[in-house]
Structure 1
Amino acid sequence: MGHLVLVTGAARSGKSEFAEWLAIQHKGIVTYIATARSNSQDPDWQARIERHRQRRPQSWQLEEVPLQLSASLERWSGPERCVLLDSLGTWVANGLEETEEDWGDRRDRWLQSARNFSGTCIVVAEETGWGVVPAYASGRLFRDRLGEVTRRLGAIADETYLIVAGRVLNLSQIAAPLPDIL
């Protein structure tokens, strides 16, 4: 089996940069899977995407995958491969209009693909829910779906890192997993 790494943290904490650093350490082929969709009507969003592009080494392959992550992971799987997926939150947001059943199917297929990936899979996920409960249904749905998929990913990850204020905490070394209470 491969090596599954979760890098999570708040906005602007440094999680993408740390995940990129981990991928740079990999000696094989690196594929960057971007879940963000370009939006020419939003200059700030385009600038964020461009900052990510400029940081990546030219040798990395790029695949833009707004929804079908499981198919992408299956395509890039291989022992010498490294996939950096950035980000899980954007992937969740891209499918917020899905029914609970469709979301559950897509989420479960992706988690199975991540578990079965035969190379190194580094996943960036935003932490949400550390503040107030969102006032709008779509905000609550996003927070709940992202929180659930991140929790499930953390349960199967070989390594989990929390990035806070530019500091890296290796949760795999300092924290115990949540007991299986369900």
Structure 2
Amino acid sequence: MAVLVTGGARSGKSRFAESYAARLASRGIYVATAQPLDDEMERRVRAHREERRLSGFAWETVEEPLDLVGLLDRLAAPGAQAGRPVVLVDCLTLWLSNHLLAVCPDGGADRARVEREMDGRIEALAGAVRRFPLPLVLVTNEVGAGIVPETALGRMFRDAAGRMNQRLAGVCDRLFLVVSGIPVDLKSIAFRMDEL
């Protein structure tokens, strides 16, 4: 079962995802995609590790900023995990940002090439999520509700994040939007065209 949790910055989505994941298994693998490239981010990473340690839930942290597809495939391999741990990935938009910066060192001069490469990575991730046999909780950011980014790179990121979120929502069993700490189960209230 795959679950996608989305929301804005500081919306409570990670806290909800961790609580939800802790109800799916007796232990978990926490996949962190952040790259602590400055002091402020390093402090955030340390604080998050400490929160998980104090949570009372048995988390094993794995840091994987780029090869998320490979990691999910390795975790899914027969015999790779004793029992059925829940896997929580936090967060997909950082993973996407890491890839965008890797494939776009020129700031996005060749937009069509960058979009093709990003869409290929998104499709590979959707395939890995669809194949994944363990409980899986994915955290992402809803970035399309804000202002239009000023730079071409920012607009490419926003567009790629929107495409990624749509694609993963399509392959996940459940989809939660968290606003001000309140989760809403979107798939349970989603309109369906066959209802017309």
Q: Same fold (TM over 0.5)?
A: yes
Match of 1:26 in 2: 24
Relative to its length, the structure with more helix (as a share) is 2
Opposite residue 72 of structure 1, the aligned amino acid is L
- What are the residue-to-residue correspondences of 1:2-13 with 2, within 5 Å? 3-13=1-11
Larger Rg: 2
How many residues are paired up?
Answer: 175
Q: Percent same amino acid at aligned positions?
A: 37
Opposite residue 35 of structure 2, the aligned amino acid is R
Match of 2:109 in 1: none
Q: For 2:11, what is the secondary structure of its paired residue? A: coil
- What CA RMSD, in Å, does the superposition of the two structures yield over aligned residues? 1.8
- List gaps (5 residues or longer) in structure 1: none
- List gaps (5 residues or longer) in structure 2: 104-113
- Residue range with higher mean Cα deviation, 156-165 or 169-178: 169-178
Match of 1:52 in 2: 48
- Residue range with higher mean Cα deviation, 77-86 or 126-135: 77-86
**Distance apart, 1:176 and its partner CA:** 2.8
Match of 2:127 in 1: 112
Question: What is the rounded CA distance, in whole Å, between the counterparts of 1:56 and 1:168 in structure 2?
Answer: 20
Opposite residue 39 of structure 2, the aligned amino acid is P
TM-score calculated relative to the size of structure 1: 0.89
**Distance apart, 1:22 and its partner CA:** 1.1
Off by >6 Å, runs of 4+ in structure 1: none
Does residue 93 (structure 1) correspond to residue 91 (structure 2)? The answer is no
Change (3 A) 1:178 1:46: farther
Opposite residue 148 of structure 1, the aligned amino acid is R
- Residue range with higher mean Cα deviation, 88-97 or 12-21: 88-97
Match of 1:37 in 2: 35
Match of 1:144 in 2: 159
Does residue 16 (structure 1) correspond to residue 31 (structure 2)? The answer is no
Match of 1:66 in 2: 65
Q: Once the two structures are superposed, what CA deviation does each residue of 1:67-125 show, in whole Å capped at 9, x if it has no partner?
A: 11111111112671311000011001101142333322222111100011001110000
